């Protein structure tokens, strides 16, 4: 989701298996699900504790399955080298102190293997809070809720946070990163600071697809997982095997469910290495 602040220079180790296990097998891993605070429909979410605040829109969270990096959805805060960058980070650190329990509503996984999510503390949307307090912009490129545009406008009208700065120092973070990456000069006024322009940018881009919140589910009794790894290998996992619970199935990637191991082998899938019958790893 956009450029990373620290990660733009050095990609972090892959967390893909942790994210898949956490989202696709939440009931088994945590034993409970919750509903997002402002969502009328029940949605599977993750529960963990904050271990670190990297910057104004990135945090580290310890889940039952392991540590993950979380990028806050729909918002973008100034870079550390920008005016209000350090203040935005400090504000999130005060709101999400180390050890704070958070509820995560997964949206997707970004190119840096971070979980993009809406973060809640005691039913309060922290992503929205950052925009409402003037510490973050509504991230036009990934926005899927026009309310963020309204919150940004309200903070701007009240002169909160970054909006207390002179207009010459209010540079949209995505513009700042692009100029830094391409070594070009920032053109003032490229991002129009109005609610109308914000909503228009969101609508022009189209809807954001939630790629994690709606995992594929087994078809009846067919519970053997036909997974395709990053190398393109087709491997099936049977219930009870070591890798079964942490293996996700995404039918959009060509992965599928099988009723029997014979069916999986005939379709071109194999058992994990060192285990010909696929009964365990």
Tens of pLDDT, residues 97-107: 999 999 999 99
The single residue listed with the structure tokens 């909160």 is: 160
The residue written with tokens 């034993």 in the block is 31
Q: Is 181 a catalytic residue?
A: no
- Residue 236's nearest CA partner among 260, 271, 263 is 271
Tell me if residue 255 is catalytic. Answer: no
The predicted structure's pLDDT at residue 16: 52
**245-249 long-range contacts, CB within 8 A, separation 24+:** 245/21, 245/25, 245/28, 245/29, 246/17, 246/18, 246/20, 246/21, 246/25, 246/65, 247/20, 247/21, 248/20, 248/21, 248/23, 248/24, 248/25, 248/215, 249/24, 249/215, 249/216, 249/225
Write out the residue range of the structural domain in which residue 253 sits. Answer: 216-281
Taking the C-alpha atoms of residue 25 and residue 212, their distance in angstroms, rounded to an integer, is 11
Per-residue pLDDT at 68: 94
In this predicted structure, the answer to whether residue 17 has a pLDDT above a threshold of 70 is: no
Q: Exactly one of 95, 114, 140, 170 is catalytic; which is it? A: 114
Does 27 or 154 have the greater pLDDT score?
154
Q: Which residues contact 235 (CB under 8 A, 6 or more apart)?
A: 226, 227, 228, 229, 269, 270, 271, 272
Residue 4 located in a structural domain = no
Among 186, 205, 224, residue at a domain's last position: 205
Q: Can you give the pLDDT at residue 170?
A: 92
Residues 183 and 239 in one domain: no
pLDDT of residue 211: 54
Name the more confident of 249 and 252. Answer: 249
Assigned domain for 10 exists:
no
Catalytic residue, candidates 9, 16, 49, 71: 71
Angle at Cα 123 formed by Cα 197 and Cα 42, nearest 5°?
Answer: 85
DSSP H/E element including 244? none
pTM (predicted TM-score): 0.64
Report the percent of the chain where pLDDT is more than 90.
Answer: 45
pLDDT score for 27: 39
Average confidence (pLDDT) over 3-13: 42
Instruction: Out of 173, 205, 237, pick the residue that ends a domain.
Output: 205
Q: Are residues 220 and 96 in the same domain?
A: no
In percent, how much of the chain has pLDDT > 70? 72
80 is catalytic: no
Q: Is residue 125 part of a domain?
A: yes
Mean per-residue pLDDT over the chain, rounded: 79
- Domain match, 31 and 136 both: yes
CA dist 59 and 114 (Å) reads 10
- Is the alpha carbon torsion for 156, 157, 160, 164 positive or negative? positive
- The residue annotated as part of the active site, out of 10, 52, 79, 95, is 79
Bridge partners, residue 62, by sequence: 49, 67
Q: How many whole angstroms separate alpha carbon 120 and alpha carbon 127?
A: 8
CA separation for the pair 33, 29 (Å, rounded): 10
For residue 108, give the CATH number of its domain: 2.40.50.90
The pLDDT value given to residue 209: 58
For 240, the 3-state DSSP assignment is coil
Cα 184–186–190 angle (5° rounding)? 130
Are 171 and 281 in a shared domain? no
Asked whether 105 and 212 are in contact (CB, 8 A), the reply is no
**Dist CA 275 CA 281 (whole Å):** 6
Higher pLDDT, 250 or 81: 81
Say if 98 falls within a structural domain.
yes
13: pLDDT strictly greater than 60: no
Is residue 33 scored above 50 in pLDDT? no
Average pLDDT over residues 232-236: 86
Render pLDDT for 162-217 as a digit per residue (tens, 0 to 9). Answer: 999 998 899 999 999 988 888 887 766 678 889 999 998 888 766 555 555 444 55
3-state secondary structure of 198: helix
Number of compact structural domains in the chain: 2
Tens digits of residue pLDDT in 34-49: 434 344 333 468 999 9
Exposure class string for 55-72: b at 16+ Cβ within 10 A, else e: bbbbbbbebebeebbbbb
| Residue 148 and residue 40 share a domain | yes
The residue among 234 and 92 whose pLDDT is bigger is: 92
3-state helix, strand, coil in the chain (%, to 5): 30, 20, 50
- Top mean-pLDDT range of 11-20, 149-158, 202-211, 257-266: 149-158
């Amino acid at each position: 989701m956009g450029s990373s602040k620290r990660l733009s220079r050095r990609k972090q180790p892959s967390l893909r298996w942790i994210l898949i296990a956490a989202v696709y097998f939440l009931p088994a891993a945590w034993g409970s699900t919750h509903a997002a605070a402002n969502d009328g429909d029940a949605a599977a979410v993750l529960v963990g504790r904050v271990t670190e605040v990297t910057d104004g829109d990135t945090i580290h969270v310890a889940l039952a399955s392991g540590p993950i990096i979380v990028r806050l959805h729909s918002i973008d805060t100034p870079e550390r080298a920008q005016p209000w960058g350090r203040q935005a980070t400090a504000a999130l650190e005060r709101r999400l102190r180390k050890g704070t329990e958070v509820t995560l509503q997964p949206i997707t996984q970004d190119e840096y293997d971070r979980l993009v999510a809406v973060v809640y503390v005691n039913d309060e949307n922290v992503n929205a809070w950052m925009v409402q307090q003037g510490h973050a912009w509504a991230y036009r490129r990934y926005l899927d809720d026009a309310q963020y545009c309204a919150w940004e406008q309200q903070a701007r009208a009240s002169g909160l946070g970054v909006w207390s700065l002179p207009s010459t120092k209010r540079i949209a973070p995505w513009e700042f990163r692009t100029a830094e990456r391409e070594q070009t000069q920032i053109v003032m006024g490229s991002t129009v600071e109005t609610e109308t322009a914000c909503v228009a940018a969101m609508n022009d881009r189209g809807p954001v697809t939630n790629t994690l919140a709606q995992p594929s589910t087994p078809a009846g009794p067919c519970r053997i997982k036909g997974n395709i790894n990053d190398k393109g290998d087709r491997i099936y996992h049977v219930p009870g095997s070591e890798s079964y619970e942490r293996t996700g199935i995404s039918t959009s990637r060509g992965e599928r469910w099988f009723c029997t191991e014979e069916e999986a082998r005939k379709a071109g899938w194999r058992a994990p290495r060192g285990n010909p019958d696929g009964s365990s790893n």
